[in-house]
Amino acid sequence: MSTKLNEIEIVNYRGIRNLHISNLKKINVIVGDNNSGKTSFLEAISMFANTSIGNVLFSCGKRVAALTIGDLFTEFVYAFPNEKEKKININAVFNDKKYELLLQGNINKTLVPLDDLKPFSVNSVINEVNQFDGILAYKCNDKFISRQDLKLNAYNTYKKRISNSKDNIERICYVTPTEYSNSNISFYKDMYKNEKYKQLIVEALKIFDPYITDLMIIPDEFGTPIQYINNSKIGITPVSTYGDGVKKIITIAAGLAVAHDGILLIDEFETGLHIKNYDDVFVFVQKACEAFNVQLFLTTHSIEAVDELLKLDSSEKNDEIIFVTLRKDYDQNKTLSRIMTASEVKSNREKFDFEVRL
């Protein structure tokens, strides 16, 4: 059975307070003003990929393109509401499973041993640093499935972030705006090793260049694997020589390969794409989601992207595309949401030039 997120409740995470959204659909478009919580919403979902603190750190840190040692710990700390006791609580229903995530603790001073400092600092003294002391716990259907005691500081978070956890719970892939420039081959391995996925992306790449015929990985002279595109006009060239649109579509396809029978999260969908390509790219993504049974969540700032997305669903009775608008209400200390079907948004856009993003 495929993974589907039916509803989610975020009590505290970054700027999101007391947000509850249910009846989520096949394609869910998250819109809203700047700093309304769109990226945070995707991050909260991605925390149910597995139960490790590494996955939590991975989710918190993906919005920063080049993390330093101190950056990751800072991103983690600021994921909590600005209160003395740090506490994040997220509840989500996937199919018939009800999950609860609790991340709770305090920031205390601690001494970092010299051995922990050596990889990062030339100083030969023991430093006093901030450390998060707390717990990370997951429940499924009201029963604990994981509980970890945490002691996190700027010198150990990066190591924990890249740890390879086997405690997977739901199939979720999260793609950020910086991902399409990422040369990490491991992210693309599911796409390259499956001919069905690879042919799908080759067809999508023809949106940008009709002479593209193949994708491949070829080691360089040092044995490092490099992504290449075969073009019937110019031959075999590295992906890095192509524009952002080509890189973005490859990354989306890789995300679809990872997320098959699961959930794909894409932040700022339009980044790297020219407006003239929106229509073809959205059609490709919708067809791919159907082919590989993927539930899609994407954020966008672009009203042009919204209008192209509205063309995807022609059903007036059974919309499989919804638009979720987020807005902060500081007086009530709450994140408000408005949910409209594609048909409702389309009708209001045509009649009243409706602004769905506000």
Between vectors from CA 82 to CA 81 and to CA 85, what angle results, nearest 5°?
80
62 contact partners, CB below 8 Å, separation of at least 6: 43, 174, 176, 178
> What is the Cβ-side half-sphere exposure of residue 278, based on CA atoms within 13 angstroms?
19
Say which residue the tokens 């922990």 belong to: 116
pLDDT at 114 (0 to 100) = 65
In degrees rounded to 5, what are phi and psi of residue 101? Answer: -115, 130
pLDDT band at 49 (very low <50, low <70, confident <90, very high): very high
DSSP string, 206-263: TTT-TTEEEEEEEE-TTS-EEEEEEETTTEEEEGGGS-HHHHHHHHHHHHHHHTTTSE
Structure tokens at 335: 């994140």
Q: Spell out the domains of the chain, with CATH numbers in brackets.
A: 5-352 (3.40.50.300)
pLDDT at 120 (0 to 100) = 62
Look up residue 95 and give its amino acid: N
Q: How do residues 62-79 score in pLDDT, each as one tens digit?
A: 887 667 777 889 999 999
214 - beta bridge partners? 230
Alpha helix locations (H) across the chain?
Answer: 38-46, 53-61, 69-77, 114-117, 157-161, 189-192, 195-205, 244-258, 278-291, 303-310, 342-352
Q: How do residues 122-172 score in pLDDT, each as one tens digit?
A: 555 557 889 999 999 999 999 999 999 999 988 888 777 766 566 788 999
Check if the beta carbon of residue 171 is closer than 8 Å to that of residue 5.
no
How confident is the model over 110-124, as a mean pLDDT? 66
Distances (CA, A) of 82 to 153, 203, 247, 348: 18, 47, 37, 38
pTM exceeds 0.75 for this model: yes
| Torsional sign, CA 64, 68, 72, 75 | negative
SS3 337: strand
How confident is the model over 194-198, as a mean pLDDT? 79
Q: How crowded is residue 329: how many other Cβ atoms within 10 Å of its Cβ? A: 11
DSSP string, 52-79: -HHHHHHHHHTTSSS--HHHHHHHHHTT
Say what the alpha-carbon torsion angle 288, 292, 297, 303 is, to the nearest 10 degrees. Answer: 10
